[in-house]
Amino acid sequence: METGPEPGLRERKKQRTREAIFEAAMELFDERGYDHVTLAEVARAADVAPATVFTHYASKEDLVYSMRHEVNERLRTAVNERAGQIGVLAAVKEWMLGMHEYFTESPEAVRRSRTFSRLLNDNPALWNRSVGFIHERQMLLVELLAERYPDADPFLLEAAAAQVAAATQTAVRYYQRDLAQGMAREEVLARAAVRADQVFEQLERGLGDVF
């Protein structure tokens, strides 16, 4: 996104360390499962001290979910870029489909995404942690909605954000399940598009018609 003034050697080394830890962790998690890998092992594989892991990642889970920061930033950008053109809901939908593409845009990306998805699908406890992170996205949505609709009732705005976050998360989970099962990229994206249409129509029109 933003290309600051050439990061120095120190910063580049730091980034390399961070990535080395991430790569080592994902490989080990993929091989033996999240629960059967200790942080000490990750550190050893990445050739750093155990304490160093915590200077880059707040926790073991954070290692798995580290990409969520970028994902959320992209949500913010997607909504702001389209301000004045389309509604927030439509922008969120675009962002979601864009992320699905992004996660499969190269063979390398596909590999990583499959690993990530398989990790979550194999480990319910780990998946449950992801629910906790929905809250971060929900708060971001509150912020984005509040900017666009400053006169809305704060409670209803927060409730709306919660619904959008929950619904998109459900769609993402189905997407990840398809991905984890090894479905072809085109198929995965096609299904995701259909579900996106369905779930955003549900969000816009409400549950009253059906339930």
SS3 of residue 200 by DSSP: helix
In the complex, the smallest distance separating the C-beta of residue 82 from a copy of itself, rounded to whole angstroms, is 14
Q: By CB under 8 A, which span of 49-57, 65-73, 95-103, 142-150 interacts with a copy of itself?
A: 142-150
- Closer residue to DNA in complex, CB, 55/106: 55
**Calpha distance 57→208 (Å, rounded):** 43
Interface with a copy of itself, residue 150, by CB under 8 A: no
Q: What is the DSSP letter of 8?
A: -
**Calpha distance 169→141 (Å, rounded):** 13
User: CA separation (Å) from 18 to 11, 47, 110, 114?
Assistant: 11, 11, 21, 21
User: CA separation (Å) from 135 to 61, 68, 96, 129, 172?
Assistant: 15, 12, 17, 11, 15
Interface with DNA, residue 85, by CB under 7 A: no
Interface with a copy of itself, residue 167, by CB under 8 A: yes
Q: By CB under 8 A, which span of 53-61, 71-79, 85-93, 99-107 interacts with a copy of itself?
A: 85-93
- Closer residue to a copy of itself in complex, CB, 40/152: 152
Interface with DNA, residue 10, by CB under 7 A: yes
Within 22-81, the residues that bind DNA by CB under 7 A are 37-40, 47-52, 54-56, 58-61
Interface with a copy of itself, residue 152, by CB under 8 A: yes
What number of helices (H) and strands (E) belong to the chain? 10, 0
**Calpha distance 137→149 (Å, rounded):** 18
Binding site residues, DNA, CB under 7 A? 8-11, 13-14, 17, 37-40, 47-52, 54-56, 58-61
